[in-house]
Structure formats: structure tokens, C-alpha cells
Amino acid sequence: MTAPLRRPIAQPAIPPARAIYFGPDDRRVFGWYHAPHSDEARDCAVVLCAPHGYEAVCSHRALRHWAEGLADAGIAVVRFDYHGCGDSAGSDDDPGRVRAWVDSIGDAIEAARIRSGASSIVLAGLRLGATLALTAASERDDVDALVLWAATPTGRAYLREGRAFTRLMTTMVETLKHTLPDGTEQIGGFVLTRETVAALTSLDPMAAGRTCAKAALWIPRDDVSQDERVPERLTQLGVDVERRDVAGYAAMMVDPHQSVAPAAVIDATAAWLRDRYRTRPRPSRARVQHEQELGIDAPVSTRTAPVAHRPVHETPVTLADGLSGIIAEPAASNANGKRTGVVLVNAGSVRRIGPNRLYVTLAREWASLGYTVLRMDLGGLGDSDTPDDATENHPYPGHAVRDIEHGLALLRSRGASRVVVVGLCSGAHAAFHAGLRIPNLDGIVVINPIVFYWKPTDALDVSAWLNFNESRHYESSAKKLDSWLRLFTGKVNVTHVARTMLARYWSVSRARSISMLRRARLMREASEDAARDLARICDRGTDVLLAFSEGDPGLDFMRRHHAGALQRLSRRANFAFHVVPNADHTFTPLDARARVAERLTVHMVEHHDHA
């Protein structure tokens, strides 16, 4: 759970942040404009440059707080997703990724200047975002200052660290074998093509020896020793560099449900900027009208593989209770009369793009087929406000079903006559309970639920899943000669293996005992019975797809506790059960992601293809 900040971080004040699109038609970028909240607005605008991939997933909510903290200090901010990332148009395998990311910063600079009217531009970047900010600044003459937090000095350094992180991930969870196109890599689950890897390898923003700004605030990491090449080279180039050793990086850059907003960094950067820039008048109404005439808020039309010939239209929406979402629907010329709406619910505490951007792929694919798809953030997640009685970043919020109802109401107000709720992991838990509690729900898609009935005493991570996968690995290894050789030569941690296997066999034995007692009618029927409640949902006329990755702990639970009930459910016309082979919990391997997307799309067409 997230720890309390040493000062409360306010919900968006008046004026609130506004979702915007900017950039040329072939490179539309999604972002947020945070207008200054203070009457003493400073004569600068900050462009926040996010990290890439999984680091962007972990820090997304923190960057929202960073932008709000700067706005509270009277500083205008634009935060955004690079082209091909997050909510922006494009995809990982588009050509010219690094060039597009740097150009996206240039587009954000223009959007910040137009909206704020500020005379000075500051680029603030985190990790690879800082490296890209340095690159953009070195190519321009209008960047006054830089804020560089945990910057990687070069693209090559980023790749080295990213590969090490990916290897660390595979030591915690048994890696499923998968293939990638020749030269393509996955860093933390996000795809880098051969071209992108080559471009990052050659990325060295200070190699040309060109002064990129007048001043820079350098904030190193607080968890490991930081490469000092960036501040040293900036100083050599004549940049006035100030260093601040401020805590916040380690507590922020963890799994999203544990991430803590970096209050100390927010305070330090706000103070540095307020000291540097004088106050200025607020922008006039005429300026706001001018920016709208320029089309800065125009929605995005995007063409995405494998449906490049079928354009879709995306629009940001704000729902009740400060909830945020993106609607994807067929472009006017592609509309085919379907009236089915789909809500995609957060997986864990990952924002509405889904794990490894899976939800973006699904939403655009389905929109191209005629569906109206809402990717929404539940309260306290992503870009949605946190209810007063709730906890930020909580993957199992008590208000999830209420939030989903707001999403369904929006879809119905836009003409949807049928509605379906889709979720992965904790989103599957929310979809399941939506099926139980929301009347007139036409379908639910429940993917890899860890639990069906979460309680406050339950863990928020997947430690049980790790134990299950480790034990399966050890069971398999016990049948191999080389595993025994490693054991006898002292290369295996026997204590760890023994603890893992004991925990696993205790779980299995307990499950079998409960099953036997139920069959013998010696145990009262539990009030929480997933199979029984799935049957209840089907009885209400709701179509159900229950899908698992092969080897997922939820699948093991269902097969051990509800094998017979699953067989009976599978005889129903409105119940489907599917197992995706060679996939992990969040479909990290690229080929597993493609296979689950195909299976879900087939189900949508077969069960919810209604005009």
C-alpha cells in the first residue's frame, strides 16, 4: 500500500487539468495541460518527459502529482505520452520511434507555449525521458532550463540497464519461451524493434558539444550510485548545474500499487523554478480561443496494425466522480451500425493502457470492427481522482462497480444498446462483481483473476502466484538429471526450495480436503463460491468468458475447487472457458499477447456482434 506523504497532495484544483491532443495529423500525441493554480503564475511552462515502457507504467501517477504540484506553485505544465506510447497514436513497431519521441517533445513545447503564454520553456525528464529531453534541447534554441531526474546519459546506458532489469524479472518468475522477430527485444515487456534498438544505441545527446540550456537542476537516484556523466558534461558545456539529493525515486519506481508520489522532489523542483522565474499575467480568453482555433484539442484518428485500413477515432472523456477515460470508436466513414459498448477495467494499478499497452491494442482493434470501447481508470488509478474515503493506487477499490456503472452509463448515452465489461487480474475481479451486481449487463470477460472475493487481509501482490509457478518449476526440475547434479554440487538453495514446495503442498492438500468434505456434505456451503456465482451471472442472461493463462494460479484454483462445476458451466450457451497456452499472467511475451487478443476478438464477434 502507498505510504502517506509528508504533506497531502491535493486533488486537481480550479482550473482542472485538461486532456488535449497536439502534433501533426500523422503524429497525434495525447497529453494533459495543467494550468497554474496560483494567482502568482510564473513566466515559464514545464514539459514533463516521461520515462519509457514499464518505468512509465510505475511512475505515471507520480508524474500526475508532479504536474499538479508545479501547477499549485503557479507553473504551467504539459505532460504527455510520446507517439506510439500510452494513449497517443501509433505503436511500438512503427518506424522511426526515437525520432518520433524527440519530435513529440517539440510538439509538447509548442502546446505548452501556446496554452500558457509563458516566455520560457523548461524540460523536466525522468530516466530515458531526461535523455530525450536533453536530445530535444540540443536541437533547439528555445529551451531555457532543464530538470533532469535519474537521467541515463545515453541510449546505450538505458538499454544496458533495461536488459538487466528484464533479466531480474525472469529470475523471479519462470520465463515462458517465446519468439520475437530477428533483432527485436522486449524491455520490461515493451517491444523495441531492431531499428529502435539501433537508434537508442547511437543516442548520445551531448556528443555534439552544443549548449542545450542556460541552467539545469540535477536530481540523482536515491537507491543506487548514479552515473555522473550528465552533470559533468553539462558543466563543461557552460550550463549552470545545481544538484539536489532528494529522496523519492526508489519509493516511486516500484509496482504501481506500491508507488508513492515523490513529495520531496515536487517541493524541490517547484522551489527551484519559483526562484528562477518571475510572475506574469494569466493568459487571456482570447489566447484560449486562439489555441482552440489551432486545433490543439482536436481528437486523434489513428490507424493501427493489423487493421491499418480501418481508422478509428479516440476522444478523452471525463465521467462522474472525476473519472478519466478514452473512448475508441469507428471513424465516421467506417461506422457499420454496431451498438455494442465495451468497458475495459484497470489491470492491477496499471493505468488504462493495460499491461504492456494490451488494452490500447484491444480497444483500437475492436473499434475498427465497429464497437465503442471505453478504456477507463477507476477512482484513485491512472488519471482519475481518488474518492475521499478511498486509497490511491488500490487495485481492488470498494467503489469499482460504482465506477463501472458510470462507464456503462456513458456508453449507453452514446447509443450503445448492449454493454460488456472486460478486465484482467484485479480488473477481472471487478468485471466478475459487475456481473453479480449490475442488472442488464450483456457480457463480462474475466481474464486471469487471482481472487474472486478480495478482502482487506489479502495481499495486493502476486506472491501466491510466484509460489505456485516456482513449485511447478521445481516439480519439473526434479525429473531432470542435471537438476540433481546442481543439487549435489551446492548450486541449489535447498532451504528456499523446501519452503516453496511445503507451502505449495499445504495449499494443494487443503484444497483437496475441502473438496472431499463438500462432496460428503460435511461442510456447509461457503457464502463465497465462484462457480456458483458464475452460474448466477449466466442465469441472469449475461454472457461470460472466463479465460486463463496456462499455469496461472487462478486456473489452478478453479480446477482444484470447481472442476465439476466448470464442466457443467461449459455446457451453457452463454458460458465459455478458454486457456491460453505459453502465456504468463499479464501476457508479457509478444506472441502470447497476440494470441489472447485474437481469442478475445473472436469471442466478441461471435457473442456480441449485434447491431
Which pLDDT score, from 0 to 100, does residue 291 have? 53
**Of 610 and 93, more confident:** 93
Span 236-265, average pLDDT: 95
Within 13 Å of residue 234, how many CA atoms lie on the same side as its CB?
Answer: 27
The grid coordinates of residue 571 equal 455446457
Helix ranges (H only) for 303-425 are 358-368, 400-413
Give the pLDDT band (50/70/90) at residue 318: very high
User: How many whole angstroms separate alpha carbon 61 and alpha carbon 72?
Assistant: 17
Q: Which residue has the higher pLDDT, 361 or 183?
A: 361
Between 25 and 384, residue with greater pLDDT: 384
pLDDT band at 474 (very low <50, low <70, confident <90, very high): very low
Please indicate whether residue 611 or residue 179 has the higher confidence score (pLDDT): 179
Report the percent of the chain where pLDDT is more than 70: 79
Quickly count: other Cβ atoms within 10 Å of residue 559's Cβ.
13
How far, in Å, CA of 377 to CA of 544, rounded? 22
* Beta-bridge partner residues of 579: 548
pTM, two decimals, is 0.86
Q: Which residue in the block uniquely carries the three cell numbers 548450486?
A: 491
Beta pairing, strands 185-187 & 44-49: unpaired
CB 269 within 8 A of CB 147: yes
Question: All domains of the chain, ordered by start, with CATH?
Answer: 18-154+204-293 (3.40.50.1820), 300-453+528-608 (3.40.50.1820), 463-519 (no CATH)
pLDDT surpassing 60 at residue 546: yes
Would you say how long the chain is, in residues?
611
**What is the structure's pLDDT at 182?**
81
CA distances from 303 to 84, 100, 502 (A): 11, 16, 51
d(CA 473, CA 350): 28
Q: All 3 cell numbers of residue 505? A: 503442498
- The least confident of 34-43, 108-117, 509-518 is 509-518
Q: Which residue has the higher pLDDT, 429 or 174?
A: 429
pLDDT given for residue 337 in this prediction:
58
| The pLDDT value given to residue 75 | 97
Pairing outcome for strands 300-302 and 312-318: antiparallel
pLDDT single digits (tens) 347-401: 999 999 999 999 999 999 999 999 999 999 999 999 999 999 899 999 999 999 9
Task: Quote the CA–CA distance of 42 and 278 in Å, as a whole number.
Answer: 5
Q: What share of the chain is helix, strand, coil (3-state, %, to 5)?
A: 40, 20, 40
Q: What is residue 289's predicted lDDT score, i.e. its pLDDT?
A: 57
**453: pLDDT strictly greater than 90:** yes
* CA gap 226, 4 in Å, rounded: 27
Average pLDDT estimate for 403-407: 98
Predicted local confidence at residue 174, as pLDDT: 43
pLDDT at 7 over 70: no
Looking at residue 357, the DSSP 8-state letter turns out to be G
Residue 524 pLDDT grade (very low, low, confident, very high; cuts 50, 70, 90): very low
- From start to end of 294-426, where are the E strands? 300-302, 312-318, 324-330, 340-345, 372-377, 418-424
| Highest mean pLDDT out of 186-195, 267-276, 454-463 | 267-276
User: How confident is the prediction for the chain on average, in pLDDT?
Assistant: 84
Q: What is the mean pLDDT of residues 511-526?
A: 44
Reduce the DSSP state of residue 233 to 3 states and report it: helix
Q: Tell me the pLDDT tens digit for each residue of 125-136.
A: 999 999 999 999
Kindly list the distances between the CA atom of residue 400 and the CA atoms of 376, 431, 561, 600, in Å, as whole numbers in the listed order.
11, 9, 26, 23
Separation of alpha carbons 112 and 106, rounded Å: 10
Cα–Cα distance, 38 to 15 (Å, whole number): 10
pLDDT band at residue 500 using 50, 70 and 90 as cut-offs: very low
Cell 518520433 belongs to 100
Taking a C-beta distance cutoff of 8 angstroms, is the pair 358, 366 a contact? no
Reported as half-sphere exposure (CB side, CA atoms, 13 A), residue 161 has a value of: 19
- Reading the block at residue 361, the C-alpha cell is 491494442
User: Phi/psi zone of residue 354: left (φ > 0), alpha (ψ -120 to 50 degrees), beta?
Assistant: left
Q: What is the per-residue pLDDT for 6?
A: 35
Q: How far apart are CA 144 and CA 396, in angstroms?
A: 43
Give which of 427, 128, 80, 126 is closest to 257, Cα–Cα: 427
Per-residue pLDDT for 460 more than 90? no
Q: What pLDDT shows up at residue 209?
A: 87
Q: Which residues contact 463 (CB under 8 A, 6 or more apart)?
A: none
pLDDT of residue 485: 52
Q: Which residue has the higher pLDDT, 457 or 85?
A: 85
Among 158-172, 186-200, 271-285, 516-530, which is the least confidently predicted range? 516-530
Q: How far is the C-alpha of 89 from the C-alpha of 361, rounded, in Å?
A: 11
- Residue 473: per-residue pLDDT: 44
Give mean pLDDT, residues 599-603: 97
Residue 151 has a pLDDT of 95
Measured between its terminal Cα atoms, the distance across the chain in Å is 44
